[in-house]
Structures are given as structure tokens and as C-alpha cells.
Amino acid sequence: MSENAKPRGPWSRLYDAFGVSGPVTLALLAASLGVPWLPGEFWTHVGTEVLILGLFAMSFNLLYGYMGQISFGHAAFFGVGAYATAMLFTALKTAEGQIGMADFLLSLLAGPPVAALAALVVGFFCVRLTGIYFAILTLAFGELLFYIVFSWYSFTKGDDGIQGLLPPPFFQDSTNFYYFTLAIVAAAAALMWRITESPFGYALRTLRDNQRRAAFLGTSVRAHMLANFVIAGAFAGVAGALWGPFSRSVNPGLLGWGESGIAVFMTLIGGGGSFIGPMLGSVIYTMLQAVVKMYTVYWPLTIGTIILMIVLFAPGGILGMIDQRIRRWRGAGRAPAEEAETAAPATEPRR
């Protein structure tokens, strides 16, 4: 094993323990605490959006980075969570549109379990297949759920969406709502970290790397995939639950494949092979979108080209590239054989 002559500094030790996600998470956390100090409400608002969508993208990454499957219908659970919260919210609020703190929190609690239930039903069918068939099936289910919400006017108000989700006065202040969101997202992320570093999390990685071999270890592929699908759906539901009060309304588009695409893009930009990659991707994507849309209407062209470049030249995303550099620089844990350029495993960060 390689010996590093100089003593390991704190950043190094952080990297050893938590992979590239360690330092990056700390940096993001520090930055996020300071966001409301920036002038005006704009950045606080953007920051809240970044956090919510970042959690959504991280939930997607449970399926993609950790289990190796790509789902084009994950937004369905984000949207279902949003609608569950929105509908309970609407039922609990007064005729004038006010809602008490307790009722508000209660409505938030509705999102994740309903999303998890939807994920259980959809997942039951989807986990029977993998690869391309899984991708198409999740797309089909996502669109199906979208159409149900879109058409069932009497229940969901269809295309009109549900409006008037005004939080209690305390949370109408965007700084308060921001820190509230930060607290929830941080707690959810901590829970997610726990899960990904558990035996279950590593079992998922075996499904990603070699499904056949995983079966020959004694792991039941379908059961584990379904469990992960439900967990990912539940976390998406948490993000969805926060979205309604944040944007004051929900609409069927939240379930569509466009929204699913956002999670995919964020994960790809930040790096699907690391825990915090999707959140970093959310920061970059959201800010990029805000800036680009100020200058041009050709946002799809921009993001499409970026995705193209990433897929071709940096499939591990930004954290993938950084991790590759760090590992090469340290020379740690590499067998004498291949050059880093071509070896596929080297593009993926370890955590």
C-alpha cells in the first residue's frame, strides 16, 4: 500500500472517511447557512428551490447511482407527495385561506407516506424488469400518473392545479421558510446517508455492479429493488411536500417526465457516483438556469449541450472529475495495470 510521507491533514481525513462528499457537503452546508444574508429575497428564494430540488435529485440517485437503474418517471412521486400535502392543506385551511401551524405541519407529513405508497404500487411492476425495459416502464407509469392527475378534475382540479397554499405567517417570511427547509433537507440527507452506508446500501451496490452475482450471494433482487424504490419514492415525497407551500401551488406538470428530467440532469452534472453530487448539481443547474434564461430563450439547447458534453467527456459529473484527480494525485489503492484514461471504474467517485 502506498505510504504518504506527509501527515494526513483534516481535509484528508475527512476524505478518507466520507469520500469526496465529505468536504463538499461541509462546504455546501457552510454556504447554505449564509444564504439569507445576501441582499434581497431573491437568493433566499432560489436557495430554497435548490434545497428542495436537490433532495429530489438525491432521492433519484438512490436508484441511479447506488442501484444502477435509470428511472424517467421519478417525478411522479415528487408530484404525488406535493399533491397529498396540497390536498390535506386545502382541507385544513380556513375559508379565508389561513392555516394554523399544527395543521400546516400535519399537511407536510402527508406527502412522504402517500408518495411511498404510490412507489410501492408502481415499483411492484417496475422491479420485475431492469435496464431499458425498466426505464421505459417507469416513463410509462410516470406519464400514466400524470394523466390521472391531469384528467381527474373533481379530485385534483386537473390542469388548474391547486392554488392558495399560503403557509402560516411565521413561514411566510422567506428566511424562516428557508431555514426550515434547510433543517428538513439536512435531516433527510443524514437519514439517506445512514441508509446508503448500511448493509442494505451495499447490497444495492452489488445489484448495480453485477446483478447476476448478487443473486448468487443470496440476495433477492426484486425485494431489494422494490424496497429501494419505495425509499426513493418516500424521499421524493418529502421534497414534494415542501414544494407546495414553497411555490404556493401545485400543478400536474410536477409529475411529468420534464420534471423527472430535472432530477436526472442535476445528478448527472454533480455526479451520480457520489452521495452529495445531486445536491451540488442542483446548485449548478438552478443557478445556471436562472442566468441563462436572463439572456436567451434557448435554455433547452444550453442544457442539452451541457449534458452531451458531460456524457461524452465527464460521465461522473463534476465530483467524478474531482475525485478522479484526487485519487490520481494520491496514487492510493491503484493496481499497477491500467492507465486512468480508459478504466471505467476510475470515473466514478467512491462516495
- Gap between the Cα atoms of 277 and 274, Å rounded: 5
Q: Which of 269, 275, 196, 266 is nearest to 15 (CA)?
A: 275
* Footprint on residues 128-187 left by other proteins (CB under 8 A): 128-133, 135-137, 139-141, 143-144, 147-148, 150-151
Query: Considering only residues 216, 295, 329, 341, which one is a binding residue for other proteins as defined by CB under 8 A?
Result: 216
* Footprint on residues 60-89 left by other proteins (CB under 8 A): 64, 68, 70
Instruction: Name the phi and psi angles at 97, rounded to 5.
Output: 95, 10
Which is nearer to other proteins, 52 or 319 (by Cβ)? 319
Which is nearer to other proteins, 5 or 344 (by Cβ)? 344
Query: Considering only residues 42, 125, 155, 170, which one is a binding residue for other proteins as defined by CB under 8 A?
Result: 125
Which is nearer to other proteins, 41 or 209 (by Cβ)? 209
Task: Report the Cα–Cα distance between both ends of the chain, in Å, rounded.
Answer: 21
* Footprint on residues 191-210 left by other proteins (CB under 8 A): 194-195, 197-203, 205-206, 208-210
Q: Does 5 bind other proteins (CB under 8 A)?
A: no
Q: Does 120 bind other proteins (CB under 8 A)?
A: no
Query: Considering only residues 250, 303, 319, 322, which one is a binding residue for other proteins as defined by CB under 8 A?
Result: 303
Which is nearer to other proteins, 106 or 306 (by Cβ)? 306
Q: Does 1 bind other proteins (CB under 8 A)?
A: yes
Rg of the chain (C-alpha set)? 21
Minimum CB–partner distance for residue 115 and other proteins (Å): 18
# residues contacting other proteins (CB under 8 A): 75
Which is nearer to other proteins, 182 or 230 (by Cβ)? 230
Q: How many angstroms separate the Cα of 340 from the Cα of each of 6, 238, 245, 335, 349?
A: 24, 39, 47, 11, 13
Residue 230 in contact with residue 119, Cβ under 8 Å? yes
Q: Does 331 bind other proteins (CB under 8 A)?
A: no
Q: Does 321 bind other proteins (CB under 8 A)?
A: no
Minimum CB–partner distance for residue 196 and other proteins (Å): 9
- Gap between the Cα atoms of 171 and 244, Å rounded: 13
- Gap between the Cα atoms of 130 and 209, Å rounded: 13
Q: Does 218 bind other proteins (CB under 8 A)?
A: yes
Which is nearer to other proteins, 27 or 332 (by Cβ)? 332
Minimum CB–partner distance for residue 121 and other proteins (Å): 12
* Footprint on residues 39-58 left by other proteins (CB under 8 A): none
Q: Does 271 bind other proteins (CB under 8 A)?
A: no
Q: Which residue has the cell 401551524?
A: 101
Name the H helices within the chain.
10-18, 21-34, 42-64, 75-92, 101-126, 131-151, 153-156, 169-172, 174-196, 199-209, 211-215, 221-247, 257-270, 277-295, 299-313, 317-330
Using DSSP, state whether 250 is helix, strand or coil.
strand
